[in-house]
Amino acid sequence: MEIAPKLPFSLTGAEVILGDILEPGQLAIPLAPNSQNMFGPRGACLLSETGPLWVSDTGHHRLLGWRNLPTQDNQSADWVIGQPDFNREGQNAKGTPGRTTFSVPTGICACGAGLAVADAWNHRVLIWHKLPEDSHVPADLVLGQANFTDNEPNRGSQVAAANTMHWPYGICYHQGRLFVADTGNRRLLIWQQLPTENGQPADLVLGQPDMVSRNENGGGSPTASSMRWCHDITFWGDNLVVADAGNNRVMIWQGIPTVNNAPCAVVLGQKNFEFTELNRGVYFPSAASLSMPYGVDVAGDWLIVADTANSRLLGWKKPESILSLQDVAADAVTGQTNFQNKGENRDFGLPTRDSLNWCYGIKICGKTAVIADSGNNRILLWRFNYGE
């Protein structure tokens, strides 16, 4: 097989690896929590090119914070939110939900002057009006629940509503609007302005015909409007991009939708809007196929997709027209030597500085790509040399 074009990452691999590193002779990494290690991190956010950095340490049900951009492997976190200290773990700190607890935190993003976190298994989003700069800082606002102590999916109802959530995994704040991948309800919720009240209802919904429906693909066959397992959100220029992991595709809208259930313009990973099989129905991937893509972000002209089940990152360069992307193959790959391989850590070996194992998330700030390499229980800080 031919070696595929590589994304413009530093060829030496990640500059910094956070999380315990498997040493020669070790068979496994201890998963007991401390200020260094992680268990299945699924999201991270670098707030500026010099920091701070916040990571959703998903399996330990906590956020880890670094005051400055880490410069050394295994560097200890400065802050923790979600647990009483660095050495404890458990959903909601083994107690009841509150303003400083989590149950499977996943998506995380800058939100105005503050921070927002998708607290998936508490079926809510937590928002801090100002960036936390210490441990145990309580959230200021909650969405999806009426208060900070409730945590039932859809507030205990069998149907959804504009002010409820079920497993929200992804979050994005863009040009004053808040976008939440309400994954278990198979929809994307949009607030036209940053919410100011607990439990405030969303203004728009994508993926469903109305605010109460929650069936896979809107209760029918897949379309340009439907979703099965939306997970992450970004913007490519002015165009909304959503990773629809359950349909093994990435959806792209021209601009920002202004009406409920608006159809996307194109999808990546599938031939058309009706096909949804992983890797287009064959075992091995290709440059044009996806298998459970969970993460998306943009750097310069590049759209980067975390093709999670294929343990690779794919990149598309922005064309003159978004409409020309339908059924277009990726331009480059990282994590695999070619477009046809999909093994964890390339050949099911030990992790290296440039290998991936079920990469769930990618966020890029300046020239630093922050990769949630979940299957390796680590975060990679890897230079992305776009524009050079």
DSSP string spanning 278-329?
Answer: GGGGSSS--TT--SSEEEEEEETTEEEEEEGGGTEEEEEE--S-GGGGTTPP
Enclosing domain of residue 140 = 16-383
Mean pLDDT along residues 205-232? 97
The residue ranking higher by pLDDT, 96 or 1, is 96
Residue that the structure tokens 């079926």 belong to: 123
Query: Residue 388 domain-assigned?
Result: no
Beta bridge partners of 378: 373
Helix ranges (H only) for the chain are 345-348
CA distances from 274 to 67, 154, 198, 267, 346 (A): 46, 29, 38, 10, 31
Mean pLDDT along residues 13-23? 86
Structure tokens at 153: 């999916």
DSSP string spanning 252-267?
Answer: E-SS---STTPPPSEE
Query: Residue 137 domain-assigned?
Result: yes
Query: Residue 88 domain-assigned?
Result: yes
Instruction: Evaluate whether 117 touches 63 at the Cβ level (below 8 Å).
Output: yes
Region of poorest pLDDT, from 23-37, 142-156, 190-204, 238-252: 23-37
Predicted pLDDT at 388: 65
* pLDDT tens-digit series, residues 321-333: 999 999 999 999 9
Q: How many CB atoms lie within 10 A of CB 281?
A: 10
Query: Residue 177 domain-assigned?
Result: yes
Query: Residue 10 domain-assigned?
Result: no
Instruction: Evaluate whether 360 touches 374 at the Cβ level (below 8 Å).
Output: yes
Query: Residue 8 domain-assigned?
Result: no
Predicted pLDDT at 128: 98
Residue 97: CATH number of its domain: 2.120.10.30
Instruction: Evaluate if residue 29 carries a pLDDT over 80.
Output: no
Q: Domains in the chain: how many in total?
A: 1
Instruction: Evaluate if residue 251 carries a pLDDT over 90.
Output: yes
Name the band, by pLDDT with cuts 50, 70 and 90, for residue 34: very high
